Amino acid sequence: MADTKERKLPAPSISAETQAYWDAAAKGKLLVRKCTSCGEAHHYPRTICPFCFSDKTEWIEASGKGTIYSYSVMRRAPVPYAMAYVTLAEGPRMVTNIVDCDFDKLRCELPVRLVFRPTDGGPPLPMFTPA
Q: Report in angstroms how near the CB of residue 131 gets to another protein at its nearest.
A: 19
Q: What angle do CA 77, 71, 50 make, to 5 degrees?
A: 115
6 binds another protein (CB under 8 A): no
Give the one residue of 25, 41, 49, 110 binding Zn ion; rule: CB under 5 A: 49
Spell out the alpha helix ranges (H) of the chain: 19-26
Q: Does 63 bind another protein (CB under 8 A)?
A: no
CA-to-CA dists, residue 18 to 14, 51, 59, 83, 117, angstroms: 6, 19, 10, 22, 18
Stretch that binds Zn ion, among 2-10, 43-51, 75-83, 94-102 (CB under 5 A): 43-51
Q: What's the min distance (Å) between Cβ of 76 and another protein?
A: 5
Residue 43 interacting with another protein (CB under 8 A): yes
The size of the chain, in residues, is: 131
